[in-house]
Structure 1
């Protein structure tokens, strides 16, 4: 395919062979086209993500209650609420600017847009909103509210309580967050690095304020606005990769 081609990822959306089933559960937002490959099944995709992220939410809530008690659980949505929300809006805005810049100016950004356009092309605003809210609540409840304090407590056994333990705990949590966003092709590796970077920012908000609202809001903002942009406009034109099936394998072709 030539560099100047104007073809869109929406022109053809073949049913691609997916990775093993456990990866659907680890990174559902990137695997919908394998479960529901047809464009007309967008609500089925939303239902899939709703179920998976609901499970994450329940696991996170039960983890927090079992570790800290019910009263402590309610504090994570009451303490420093407005500080957390303000920081979340700021981080979300910065990440959205970076996402837009990367999609317009870099090959890796266009590659990610091309891939996610094949997954989410044709989503309505309501479908983007539902997906974003589900992912923001589910992933932040599991990784930030549940996993991160446990990781910080573990780190404190090595470094002693304080800034070093908090930093190490946030890093460990972010590496785990990146692990569930592992791509199945090296060309999508920036997605994992991007996930780790945003996770560190979300973790810092939660560690500073003790409130989960800001990370949830930032996460939902980023996913919702980016999904809406990709669904409405498709992947930007310019050098990128097209993804197609050949001989039962995924192939990436630079255009």
Structure 2
């Protein structure tokens, strides 16, 4: 079980660890300006609005997928993991911002130029435990998330890093909020088993 205080340390470690590592790789190994990558090819406003739209749609579709009868146990597992933390909306936004900023700087900014969109996406989703050869149900969700994360890679290429950061942040905000405010559906799950 995750301890409530540890989730905030993990969020800060993600922001600082992944963020600084990604920034360092971009600036010193790739010799790419971090700020120029963040600003991208389109306006910051357009990137932000696109990120909000993409992240919101991806999260809502993802939620519908885990509500399928086949994936009830997966949804229940995550509800039972997140709900006891009793996260406020502000805490959900903080955690989501830390993950969105840190992970996107590292994976989209630093790793993707070397490994490409799809390998980076598979690596990212596998690191989060969603591609698990011992759990087919979570892997079904993982395949969906791989496509979503690849979309973040293409947002970065065609728009800029900010669009991927915003999209990732909104995916996390929506899904954490839904997990924090849902009850496990144990009765129906037992009937399906």
Superposed pair shares fold, TM > 0.5 = yes
- Number of equivalent positions: 186
1:194 aligned onto 2:144:
yes
Distance across 1 between alignment mates of 2:139 and 2:123: 15
Q: Which residue is equivalent to 1:226?
A: 175
Match of 2:157 in 1: 207
Q: Distance in 1 between matches of 2:60 and 2:187?
A: 19
Equivalent position SS for 1:233: coil
**Which residue, out of 48, 62, 71, partners 1:99?**
62
Backbone CA RMSD of aligned residues: 2.4
The aligned counterpart of 1:75 is 36
State how far apart, in whole Å, the 2-side matches of 1:215 and 1:236 are.
33
Per the normalisation by structure 1, the TM-score is 0.65
Equivalent of residue 22 in structure 2, options 55, 60, 80: 60
Question: Higher helix proportion, which one?
Answer: 2
Q: Which has the larger radius of gyration?
A: 1
Q: Deviations over 1:103-135 (max 9, x none)?
A: 433421x33321111221122222211211111
Matches of 1:46 and 1:254, distance apart in 2:
36
Q: Which string of whole-angstrom CA distances, capped at 9 and with x for unpartnered residues, describes residues 165-196 of structure 1?
A: xxxx2112112212212356413223422331
Taking structure 2 as the reference length, the TM-score comes to 0.84
Runs of 4+ that moved beyond 3 A: 103-106, 235-241
Equivalent residue runs for 1:66-145 within 5 Å: 66-69=28-31, 72-79=33-40, 80=42, 81-108=44-71, 110-121=72-83, 122-145=86-109
Residue 50 (1) aligns with residue 18 (2):
no
Q: 1:228 to 1:62 in 2, by over 3 A?
A: same
Could you report, residue by residue, the CA deviation over 1:152-172 in whole angstroms, capped at 9, with x for unpaired residues?
xxxxxxxxxxxxxxxxx2112
Give the number of the structure with larger relative contact order, counting CA–CA contacts within 8 Å between residues 6 or more apart.
2
Deviation at 1:236, TM superposition (A): 4.3
